[in-house]
Amino acid sequence: MGRIMANQRQQLEQWTTVVADTGDMEMIAALAPCDATTNPSLLLAAARDSRYQSLLTQARSLAAEMGRGHDLTWCSDAYACLAGQAVLEHVPGLVSTEVDARLSFDTRATVERARRLMALYRELDVDPDRILIKIAATWEGIEAARLLEEEGTRCNLTLVFSLAQALAAAEAGTTLISPFVGRIQDWHVKRGLDIQHIDDDPGVQSVCGIFRTLKARGLETIVMGASFRNADQIRALAGCDRLTISPALLETLAADENPLTQALDAADVEPDEDWTPISEAGFRWAMNQDPMANDLLSDGIRRFAADQVALETLLSEEERAA
């Protein structure tokens, strides 16, 4: 009897924790990842799916129990937490729940909204150790994460497009960062870049640089590559701490039995003990000098904010129909 070959998803899982990038609970159950991550876009897609309509009704009821049944922001947060609770029934690890993107430039409001999300999870009897609060990697968001981590609430800094964002988040003690790959590629291709080889992909290069720099400096923040356009980008980052991958690309990897090579290994990184923490001024200057990171961070926040508004509209329509 011949030896059964491990597929590329199985090979990847030797070195990297696989996270499902979807809000579809049935798909998460079928894929059986370690963790899952959500965002306003994924939650909006789930809210429009007839299979999950009951969560909208439950969200209004949960907000009402907290004395906030007619506050759409409370209802949307309740919906996000109910979705997170449902996801956790299908994964053994963590779920990320995002703070309203409209608060991305307000440290205090971000901290308060994160505390609200954690209070809702406690109301649902969800173990707080299984939650990551997801925040956009603005300077204000990073400072909010610093405060929350000091309180014991773990954070996932998202919309990371530059080394400056990654370093500031890691130096703030953030549990995890999500540097994006596909959106960086999109930005450069739109401006005429012809990528002939995966090693020339600027999104892959960005995550590789972030991974190696954080490991060299002994920063313990988990690097989770996100936003993939194709399986080659995932293969080129095999060995990254975590990768959050769409169901379609997870299926592509599971169908491929070709050998996969570990591309990133913290053990191969030379230590760098001679470095200076990034300041607010240094962070803002670095972002000012990086049109790609500046454009994509702003665009990501706008997109998530728009989907947040659309979700609140759905909840409002659900209330009127009740």
Question: 162-197 pLDDT, tens per residue?
Answer: 999 999 999 999 999 999 999 999 999 999 999 999
What are the tens digits of pLDDT across the range 23-78?
A: 888 889 898 899 998 888 889 998 899 888 889 899 999 999 989 988 999 999 99
Q: Left, alpha or beta for 212 (phi > 0: left; psi -120 to 50: alpha)?
A: alpha
CA distance 32 to 299: 31
CA distance 237 to 261: 10
What are the tens digits of pLDDT across the range 76-124?
A: 999 999 999 999 999 999 999 999 999 999 999 999 999 999 999 999 9
Judged by DSSP in three states, 223 sits in strand
**Residue 1 pLDDT > 60, yes or no?**
no
pLDDT score of 23? 80
- Summarize the confidence of residues 256-264 as an average pLDDT: 97
Cα dihedral 316, 45, 156, 288 sign: negative
pLDDT band at 142 (very low <50, low <70, confident <90, very high): very high
Residue 304 lies in a domain: yes
pLDDT score of 319? 66
What are the tens digits of pLDDT across the range 192-218?
A: 999 999 999 999 999 999 999 999 999
Which candidate in 113, 116, 134, 242 is catalytic? 134
- Summarize the confidence of residues 265-285 as an average pLDDT: 96
Pairing of strands 176-179, 35-37: unpaired
pLDDT score of 321? 65
pLDDT band at 22 (very low <50, low <70, confident <90, very high): confident
For the question of whether the overall pTM of this predicted structure is more than 0.75, the answer is: yes
pLDDT score of 322? 59
Give the list of residues 6+ apart from residue 46 with CB closer than 8 angstroms, or none.
23, 24, 25, 52, 55, 83
The answer to whether 182 and 202 are in contact (CB under 8 A) is no
The torsion angles phi and psi of 109, rounded to 5 degrees, stand at -65, -35
CA distance 70 to 72: 6
pLDDT score of 102? 98
Residue 169 lies in a domain: yes
- Summarize the confidence of residues 279-298 as an average pLDDT: 98
- Summarize the confidence of residues 252-267 as an average pLDDT: 97
Residue 321 lies in a domain: no
Active site annotation includes 190: no
Residue 222 lies in a domain: yes
**Residue 3 pLDDT > 90, yes or no?**
no
Length of the chain: 322
- Summarize the confidence of residues 239-266 as an average pLDDT: 96
Residue 97 lies in a domain: yes
Residue 287 lies in a domain: yes
pLDDT score of 294? 97
Q: Helices H, strands E: what count in the chain? A: 14, 8
Cα dihedral 212, 213, 216, 217 sign: negative
Helix residue ranges per DSSP H, 66-181: 72-88, 107-123, 139-151, 163-171
Task: Tell me the residue range of the domain where 141 lies.
Answer: 8-316
Residue 81 lies in a domain: yes
CA distance 146 to 273: 22
Q: Give how many domains the chain has, as a whole number.
A: 1
pLDDT score of 285? 98
CA distance 201 to 182: 9
Tell me 127's DSSP state: -
**């454009």: which residue's tokens?**
295
Q: Which of 310, 301, 300, 280 is nearest to 103 (CA)?
A: 301
Could you tell me the CATH number of the domain that includes residue 108? 3.20.20.70
**């059986």: which residue's tokens?**
32
How many Cα atoms occupy the beta-carbon half-sphere of 300 within 13 Å? 27
Residue 137 lies in a domain: yes
